[in-house]
Amino acid sequence: MRSAYRTTAVVDWLALEIEVARPTQFHWLQNLLADHFGDDTLEYIRAVDAGAGNEATRFLIKLNDAHCKDVDTIRAALAALGQRHTLVGPVLIKELEVSLDFYPNDDQARADLLPLVARLQMSIAAYGRHHRQVGPSKWPDFLDSTRTPDPQQTFYVNNNKRDPVSWRVYHKITDQKLDLPRDQHRARVEFTLRGAGLHKYGINSLDDLVERGFVGFGDLLHFRQFIPMPELIAGMKPELAQLVQHATRRDRIMISLYLFGRHAYHRDSRTGKPRNGGRPKLLDHSRHTERDDELNHLVRDRLRDLTRRFSTQN
């Protein structure tokens, strides 16, 4: 894996909420940022509390990957705004998207890129509350436990516009609806956090993100694999082994669709009676799965690299 693919983690975009001392219109801020970055990119800016004349004091600013690659770049942009509009209070983070990219190093790895996308789609431990979907973003299809996604389409977990945490896994061959050069084609896994999803990790402000870094998000890019059936049923009574084999004969395909065994019923080792009043304990992962150490170690290393790049201040 490490020799076949160059991997990197990036902040794909970052949505900040700022407050200015005097009401203004969003396009003045937009023009200031365009002049500051000098690349003809108009950042998405929305007034949070627009009043008369569409003026506001609070704005949501969404910075793309080139403009939020590190804290120095972000703070320089905020300073450019501050020269014309006094900023009030802390800069809040409202949404954050982090991506992990796999770039093939040679023709063989490039030929194996779609199988890698399929592996990532089927092994990411992203459970969420909603059905898993695959397809174009406007009309995705729902998956059940007997289907696997097409690696040429996007695999979704949760809604990436509303839910506190959501995931996408896909073969990235376009950017902003434009075709990418062949050497930029890659497998991508990304998660998006907003609201309670950010608060769970103690992220409220830009300073929080700098202080905490990205390594703590490793559980959002966690991969697992199924324990081989002979190993799983070893030592089981024949009746239980047969039940497990029958119950899972079609479902051992996708980790994120597989919930069998996640509810554990614990018993006291001395009395044999159920603990917790016989109520099940919800496990983090199914006992029928195990960590994919190859992918998880790589994730940890790339998130550590991202923390260094993002937080290094000149």
Per-residue pLDDT 10s for the chain (314 aa) are 788 999 999 999 999 999 999 999 999 999 999 999 987 777 889 999 888 888 999 999 999 999 999 999 999 999 999 999 999 989 999 999 999 999 999 999 999 999 999 999 989 988 766 656 777 766 667 766 566 778 898 988 887 678 899 999 999 999 888 999 999 999 999 999 999 999 999 999 999 999 999 999 999 999 999 888 888 888 888 888 888 787 666 666 777 766 555 555 556 666 666 566 555 566 678 778 899 999 999 999 999 999 999 987 55
pLDDT of residue 238: 86
pTM, two decimals, is: 0.86
- Name the residue ranges covered by the structural domains of the chain: 12-94, 225-290
pLDDT given at position 218: 95
What values do phi and psi take at 113, rounded to 5? -65, -45
What is the CATH number assigned to the segment(s) 12-94? Answer: 3.30.70
Which residues neighbour 306 within 8 Å (Cβ) at sequence distance 6 or greater?
9, 10, 11, 98, 213, 214
Map tokens 């802390």 to a residue: 90
Residue 28: its H or E element: helix 26-37
pLDDT at 39: 79
